[in-house]
Amino acid sequence: MNIPEILASEFHLTAAQVSATVALIDDGNTIPFIARYRKEATGGIADTVLRDLDERLTYLKNLESRKSEVLRLIDEQGKLTPELAADIEKAEVLQRVEDLYKPYKLKRATRASKARERGLEPLADTICAQSLTHGSVAELAAPFVNAELGVDNTDDAIAGACDIIAERVADDADLTAALRNLTRLRGVLVSEAADVDEKTVYDMYYKYSEPLAKIPNHRVLAINRGENEKKLKVKVTTDAEFFNARIERDVITNPQSIFADLLRATVADSYKRLIAPSLERELRAALTERAETDAIKIFAKNTENLLMTPPVSNARVVAIDPGFRTGCKVAALSETGTLLDYTTIYPTAPKNDVAGTEKTLQKLIEKHQINVIVIGNGTASRETEEVVAAFLARQFPDVRYTIVNEAGASVYSASKLASEEYPDLDVTTRGAMSLGRRLQDPLSELVKIPPKSIGVGQYQHDLNQGQLEKSLTGVVENCVNRVGVDLNTASPSLLTYIAGINAAVAKNIVAYREENGGFTDRRQLKKVPKLGDKAYGQCAGFLRVSGGKNPLDATSVHPESYAAAAELLKRVGAELTNGGVSDIEERIGADLPALAVDLGVGLPTLRDIIAEIKKPARDPREDAPAVVFSREVRDFNDLAVGMELTGTVRNVVDFGAFVDIGVKHDGLVHVSRMSDHFVKHPSDVASVGDTVKVWVVSLDRERGKVGLSMVKGD
């Protein structure tokens, strides 16, 4: 198997691109480093594609490893033929390797293995040969009767021989592959209630069936959850007669033989007892894997959009974590996220202390020059928002407010990380701080929250947590390294996502700057314990030093390209300042390829250097939609079908998008209502953080659900 050739074909890349990329990965380079600083070698493959390629590379390497192991195991049994070895070598998926290995795999005791121990395999061979058209099966079985071996009569002998044949049929790799495909095409997933009298959220699946080939991923996950909670019974059904007939085509080669009826019964037994249950397990596992993979991809995309929400600069924030009985926790933050003040207000039931709330907010706004109020979107959010909006409209019309998603804030505030960062604060104050910082710098704050608590996926609590964690880590690494971090302000949790830096090194970086008063030069990183030359090469370009000795340290230009950047600045007669050299391209002229050769760098690297000199440390999050402030407060009872609203996309899932329109629960735009043309997936139309115009199409006042459309007049 030529792995680079396969990857080149699957990812529509050249063999040279793939070979160079694989060599870089094998040499221990990180994906962010390869994506940013080895564009000449990779041909500019994006970080997201590189991660997919790396994952596929791992699979293919594991496939080759498994082939070698299976070949060895079969050969040790003395049963490896040239034909079988060739089939194993040609296998393109792990499933095919396992199918071919199945007949030789050591099994626990089965009916077939016991029959072999009783000496009935020759009888099974005779039956399978199907050469006799006259005579009696019982007469052929008579010589195999042996009471000492547990074969008391001819019926026992025939039954044992049939057990051997049934297992052979079930172990046939080519037949299994054909039946698997047929089951995938013709099988039906059926669910029913475990208790028909019990009312649950799975009511719609109490008497439900859908073809395996058509069932969407979100329904697979919903049915799985219902089954795991013992509210549903689930099975795969097939047309047994059709499948038996298909197997008989392979097994019964002589319909006129005296064994034909016996083989038909054996086929039926093999399918019902061995093949169908095995395929049901396999295909349900495959459905689950497909659904989980898709859900994780959606989660990753939503998380990326959330992490890349632009920070609100110069925001001096009052953050409010709403609540009823225990009040609303309040934290005042400087523009850099430093805690200035904290308290509790009671604008909601049961106290309804509106006057006290307004007095406290006025004091905080005036004392700390607050210009933004942030309110969490959880319990009591709307009630708190009403008080805040009315107060600001009367007293401070220039102070803006917005709602932020508080998913995971309580998880973070009670975590070990939060207690290490703020040991003197209680969990509620930490939670309010987290909400404010999510506005000021979403990326830095959200990296502190466990993946399943971020709240922008579907069924994330049911997914493979290892795969989910891996996916999120990849997304966060891509985002953090795409943006870069300030070496002198980044938290340890943020630094761990920088290429080449692990948790221990991140702590050492923070300890170094605390002991030495901050970094003034990237090269000081080499003095950090456990940060060697390899790690320095990987991380240096993503760590910024503002106001340091070398202005290039504040950019994404890698130290390995400093000489080229300095020479470029010298040639165009410019100095690098915070504002950059806006006319750098005009100064250079058009012949970039020749200039790249002169400077000893590749053309992609030169273009990146020019972009950084033009606008140093440009934040890619500037391209994302800006945060929406000060919405009109709405009550569910004020909504009406046909009403036009503006909202913010909070989550995108397989079946649509959830949009925050200012009521307690987000409204759902079903995928069928997201556009006036066919939409393959909701993520093709909407992303987390998007501001969208929607129309109310349905209201379920009893359950507080709002149906929305992104198509006018729908």
CATH topology of domain 3-104: Arc Repressor Mutant, subunit A (1.10.10)
Which of 278, 272, 274, 288 lies closest to 212, judged by CA? 288
Cα separation, 670 vs 657, in Å, equals: 7
Q: Is the pLDDT of residue 633 over 60?
A: no
Report the pLDDT value the prediction gives residue 631, as an integer from 0 to 100. 54
CA–CA distance from 408 to each of 377, 405, 651 (Å)?
12, 9, 14
List pLDDT tens digits, range 538-547: 999 999 998 8
Report the pLDDT value the prediction gives residue 634, as an integer from 0 to 100. 61
**Where in the chain do CATH 1.10.150.310 domains reside?**
512-623
Q: How many CA atoms lie within 13 A of 65 on its CB side?
A: 6
Report the pLDDT value the prediction gives residue 660, as an integer from 0 to 100. 85
pTM of the model: 0.83
**Where in the chain do CATH 1.10.10.650 domains reside?**
3-104
Report the pLDDT value the prediction gives residue 626, as an integer from 0 to 100. 64
* Residue 476 confidence class, pLDDT cut points 50, 70, 90: confident
Cα separation, 424 vs 415, in Å, equals: 14
Residues 6 or more apart whose CB falls under 8 angstroms from that of 27 comprise: none
Q: Is the pLDDT of residue 713 over 90?
A: no
The rounded mean pLDDT for the chain is 92
Largest CA distance in the chain: 106
Cα separation, 452 vs 471, in Å, equals: 11
Q: Is the pLDDT of residue 556 over 90?
A: yes
Residue 413: alpha-carbon gap to chain centroid: 24
Q: Is the pLDDT of residue 308 over 80?
A: yes
3-state secondary structure (DSSP) of residue 331: strand
List pLDDT tens digits, range 486-509: 999 899 989 999 999 999 999 999
Lowest-confidence region among 177-181, 372-376, 518-522, 615-619: 615-619
* Residue 95 confidence class, pLDDT cut points 50, 70, 90: very high
**Where in the chain do CATH 3.30.420.140 domains reside?**
317-440
Report the pLDDT value the prediction gives residue 421, as an integer from 0 to 100. 85
Q: What is the mean pLDDT of residues 115-126?
A: 96
Percent of all residues in the chain with a pLDDT value above 90, rounded to a whole number? 74
Q: What is the mean pLDDT of residues 143-158?
A: 95
More confident residue, 654 or 87: 87
Report the pLDDT value the prediction gives residue 126, as an integer from 0 to 100. 96
List pLDDT tens digits, range 681-711: 999 999 988 889 999 999 998 888 999 999 9
Report the pLDDT value the prediction gives residue 362, as an integer from 0 to 100. 97
Q: Is the pLDDT of residue 337 over 70?
A: yes
Q: Is the pLDDT of residue 471 over 70?
A: yes
**Where in the chain do CATH 1.10.3500.10 domains reside?**
111-295
Cα separation, 157 vs 143, in Å, equals: 9
Residues paired with residue 460 on neighbouring β-strands, in sequence order: none
* Residue 393 confidence class, pLDDT cut points 50, 70, 90: very high
Report the pLDDT value the prediction gives residue 662, as an integer from 0 to 100. 76
Residues 6 or more apart whose CB falls under 8 angstroms from that of 511 comprise: none
User: What is 512-623's CATH superfamily?
Assistant: Tex RuvX-like domain-like (1.10.150.310)
Q: What is the mean pLDDT of residues 274-303?
A: 93
User: What is 111-295's CATH superfamily?
Assistant: Tex N-terminal region-like (1.10.3500.10)
List pLDDT tens digits, range 29-45: 999 999 999 999 999 99
Cα separation, 58 vs 22, in Å, equals: 10
Percent of all residues in the chain with a pLDDT value above 70, rounded to a whole number? 98
Q: Is the pLDDT of residue 475 over 60?
A: yes
Residues paired with residue 372 on neighbouring β-strands, in sequence order: 317, 400
Provide the 8-state DSSP code for 308: T
Cα separation, 710 vs 674, in Å, equals: 5
More confident residue, 232 or 631: 232
- At 79, phi and psi to the nearest 5? -120, 10
3-state secondary structure (DSSP) of residue 652: strand
Q: How far apart are the first and last CA of the chain?
A: 53
List pLDDT tens digits, range 417-443: 889 888 999 998 999 999 999 999 988
CB-count exposure of residue 404 (10 Å: 0-12, 13-18, 19+): buried
User: What is 317-440's CATH superfamily?
Assistant: YqgF/RNase H-like domain (3.30.420.140)
* Residue 557 confidence class, pLDDT cut points 50, 70, 90: very high
For domain 636-709, the CATH architecture is: Beta Barrel (2.40)
List pLDDT tens digits, range 220-249: 999 999 999 999 999 999 999 999 999 999
- DSSP secondary structure letters along 490-532: --HHHHTTSTT--HHHHHHHHHHHHHHTS-SSGGGGGGSTT--
* Residue 628 confidence class, pLDDT cut points 50, 70, 90: low
